Chain A
Amino acid sequence: MHGLQMIFLVLAVVALVSGGFVIFQRHPLRSALWLIVNFFAVAGIYLLAHAEFIAAIQVIVYAGAIMVLFLFVIMLLNLRQPEAEVRFMHLGQKVGGIVLAGFTVLLVIYTVGKVALPPGKSAPLGLGNTESIAKLLFTDYLLPFEVTSVLLLVAIVGAVVLAKSRLK
């Protein structure tokens, strides 16, 4: 068990640190690359929880497809130079930002303190299986699943309409 905990700690640290880098990098391409590292760490944590299917999908969909599109857009826009530093910032912006951030932190601490989290345990063996997830998706959660597909279809149609209108 000790070995697994060590692996979890390493993955958690990698996830948090890379998440931090995503925010603090000035260059959008570097942020995107750190986000990929973050996805890998999270996929590793899924693996530790015996959710192999989710881990594989995480890598295929997020790291393998969505981030490629992100990189594609960043490179097409040719953001080679980082954005010029913001020289002037209104005092109201600074104060407002700090107050809002503090409020969010308090809210998170309050909520986490209030909820009694169940002791951490991995999913029962087989729950991470493709078969059991598919069974759940197509029986108990059929309606949400189909509604999500329709939503995605609407998004695709919207994207096509937007792209076509610009061509005319």
Chain B
Amino acid sequence: MMNQLPLLIIMTAVKILVVLVVFLTAIAYTVLMERKVLGFIQLRYGPNRVGPWGLLQPLADAIKLIFKEDFTPPEGNRVLFIMAPIITSVTAFLPFAAIPFASQILPDSLTIYGHKLDLTVAGLNQGVIADLNVGLLYIFAMGSLSVYGAVLGGWASNNKYSLLGGLRLAAQMVSYELALGLSVIGVLMLAGSLSMVKIVEAQKSMWFIVYQPLGFLLFLTAAMAECARTPFDLIECENELVAGFQTEYSSMKWGLFMMGEYCHIIVASALCTTLFLGGWQGPVLPPIVWFVGKTFALVFFFIWVRGTFPRFRFDQLMKLGWKVMLPLCLVNILFTGVIIQFLQR
């Protein structure tokens, strides 16, 4: 057991690396997907010059971003200005560690050079990096930290528009985190666990969206607001704030903010899939295909909403969060509790 420890650590690191590379590629192609889908919604082609159907566009974008001039405002706070995009992208990646993307990806034990290796240790054979018993809370914790990137970036830029964008995001995130947290209580009541793997397993017979339609709707809306996507993108509202907290950012620092945004969209979709749409479960096709398929269907929905709805006003945003979504969340919890209590009798 003990002499296997280094090997297990290496294998876990490899697993994290594989997931991260796939995830980064997915982010790059989500950007392309957004530009393409928005193009079709607006009756134009979208990027189609680089590679067949514009498939190499993300690569070209990345090269362009890396070689652009990297400007740091001389009046602002240099350290925080550099830290802000790092915080945004790291806190956006971290939640994925607790999201199960498949049932079992490796056999229970492997034989490498005659050594029998027990892969059930630390869940190495499972299709999730870490099955935490407080998985959902961990994801929310990382999500609640992501606000610091924009707030600190906005402050460190020493620019009125940036600061206002950062402050708007802080107010928006705190307001919608409540609705986000409360909208999943119904799922927790049904699954009886905070572990993401157990929540997926609890949906073996029926997806939770059937029992929690209101919860699903509230979660999706709150998640959209947490990602600060149109119609909730008041933080980078062009006609009022130039580009919000990222006004002063250029080059790959701006690229990291963008990566964080698309990362949030994928994580929110994956989370929604796991909590309400049965996660990786589905007939015939392998689990990973189901997971990716459902997640990207939701990513498409996010883009579709962006192409369809106009932006809220800030007071409308706050009203929706506190006076509509929060009471609805509480009603949802109450009804779920009452129904579970009656059914258990």
Knowing A56-B134, A64-B177 are in contact, say whether A72-B141 is a contact too (CB < 8 A).
no
Q: Residue A6 at the B interface, CB < 8 A?
A: no
Give the distance in Å from the alpha carbon of A103 to the alpha carbon of B211 in the complex. Answer: 61
Question: How far does the Cβ of A93 sit from chain B's closest Cβ, in whole Å?
Answer: 32
Q: Residue B279 at the A interface, CB < 8 A?
A: no
Which residues of A sit under 8 angstroms from B167, Cβ to Cβ?
Answer: 72, 75-76
In the complex, are the beta carbons of B141 and A68 less than 8 A apart?
A: no
Interface residues of A (CB under 8 A from B): 29, 33, 36, 52-53, 55-57, 59-60, 63-65, 68-69, 71-72, 75-76, 129-130
In the complex, are the beta carbons of A59 and B144 less than 8 A apart?
A: yes
- Residues of B106-134 whose CB lies within 8 A of A: 132-134
Which residues of A sit under 8 angstroms from B60, Cβ to Cβ?
Answer: none
Give the distance in Å from the alpha carbon of A64 to the alpha carbon of B137 in the complex. Answer: 12
Which residues of B sit under 8 angstroms from A36, Cβ to Cβ?
Answer: 148
Knowing A65-B174, A71-B151, A76-B167 are in contact, say whether A52-B134 is a contact too (CB < 8 A).
yes
- Majority DSSP secondary structure for residues of B touching A: helix
Taking a contact as CB atoms closer than 8 A, the residue among A60, A64, A69, A75 that contacts B163 in the complex is A75
In the complex, are the beta carbons of A59 and B145 less than 8 A apart?
A: yes
In the complex, are the beta carbons of B151 and A52 less than 8 A apart?
A: no
Give the distance in Å from the alpha carbon of A56 to the alpha carbon of B173 in the complex. Answer: 18
- Majority DSSP secondary structure for residues of A touching B: helix
Q: Can you show 8 pairs from A to B with CB atoms below 8 A apart?
A: A55-B134, A56-B140, A60-B140, A63-B145, A64-B141, A68-B144, A72-B167, A130-B137
Kindly report which residue of chain A lies nearest to residue B137, judged by CB atoms.
Answer: A56
Knowing A29-B155, A130-B194 are in contact, say whether A71-B170 is a contact too (CB < 8 A).
yes
In the complex, are the beta carbons of A60 and B141 less than 8 A apart?
A: yes
Kindly report which residue of chain A lies nearest to residue B145, judged by CB atoms.
Answer: A64
In the complex, are the beta carbons of B171 and A72 less than 8 A apart?
A: yes
In the complex, are the beta carbons of A63 and B144 less than 8 A apart?
A: yes
Q: Residue B138 at the A interface, CB < 8 A?
A: yes
Give the distance in Å from the alpha carbon of A33 to the alpha carbon of B145 in the complex. Answer: 12
Kindly report which residue of chain B lies nearest to residue A74, judged by CB atoms.
Answer: B155
Which residues of B sit under 8 angstroms from A130, Cβ to Cβ?
Answer: 133-134, 137, 194
In the complex, are the beta carbons of A64 and B134 less than 8 A apart?
A: no
Give the distance in Å from the alpha carbon of A152 to the alpha carbon of B134 in the complex. Answer: 26
Knowing A59-B144, A63-B145, A130-B134 are in contact, say whether A68-B173 is a contact too (CB < 8 A).
yes
Most buried by A among B132, B141, B171, B174: B141
Q: Residue B200 at the A interface, CB < 8 A?
A: no
Knowing A75-B155, A75-B166 are in contact, say whether A65-B144 is a contact too (CB < 8 A).
yes
Interface residues of B (CB under 8 A from A): 80, 132-134, 137-138, 140-141, 143-145, 147-148, 151-152, 155, 163, 166-167, 170-171, 173-174, 177, 181, 194
Give the distance in Å from the alpha carbon of A108 to the alpha carbon of B247 in the complex. Answer: 50
In the complex, are the beta carbons of A68 and B133 less than 8 A apart?
A: no
In the complex, are the beta carbons of A56 and B170 less than 8 A apart?
A: no
Which residues of A sit under 8 angstroms from B173, Cβ to Cβ?
Answer: 68
In the complex, are the beta carbons of A64 and B155 less than 8 A apart?
A: no
In the complex, are the beta carbons of B144 and A52 less than 8 A apart?
A: no
Kindly report which residue of chain B lies nearest to residue A52, judged by CB atoms.
Answer: B134
Which residues of B sit under 8 angstroms from A68, Cβ to Cβ?
Answer: 144, 147-148, 151, 170, 173-174
Kindly report which residue of chain A lies nearest to residue B139, judged by CB atoms.
Answer: A56
The 3 closest A-B pairs by CB, nearest first: A64-B144, A56-B137, A59-B141
Question: How far does the Cβ of B50 sit from chain A's closest Cβ, in whole Å?
Answer: 39
Give the distance in Å from the alpha carbon of A75 to the alpha carbon of B145 in the complex. Answer: 17
Which residues of A sit under 8 angstroms from B170, Cβ to Cβ?
Answer: 68-69, 71-72
Question: How far does the Cβ of B179 sit from chain A's closest Cβ, in whole Å?
Answer: 13
Kindly report which residue of chain A lies nearest to residue B178, judged by CB atoms.
Answer: A65
Which residues of B sit under 8 angstroms from A64, Cβ to Cβ?
Answer: 140-141, 143-145, 147, 177
In the complex, are the beta carbons of B141 and A52 less than 8 A apart?
A: no
Given A65-B174, A75-B163, A130-B134, list of 17 further CB < 8 A pairs?
A: A33-B152, A52-B133, A53-B134, A55-B134, A56-B138, A57-B137, A59-B144, A63-B144, A64-B145, A65-B144, A68-B151, A69-B174, A75-B151, A76-B167, A129-B133, A130-B133, A130-B137
Most buried by B among A33, A53, A63, A130: A130
Give the distance in Å from the alpha carbon of A33 to the alpha carbon of B137 in the complex. Answer: 22
Kindly report which residue of chain B lies nearest to residue A54, judged by CB atoms.
Answer: B134
Which residues of A sit under 8 angstroms from B147, Cβ to Cβ?
Answer: 64, 68
Which residues of B sit under 8 angstroms from A76, Cβ to Cβ?
Answer: 167
Question: How far does the Cβ of A89 sit from chain B's closest Cβ, in whole Å?
Answer: 30
Give the distance in Å from the alpha carbon of A19 to the alpha carbon of B56 in the complex. Answer: 49
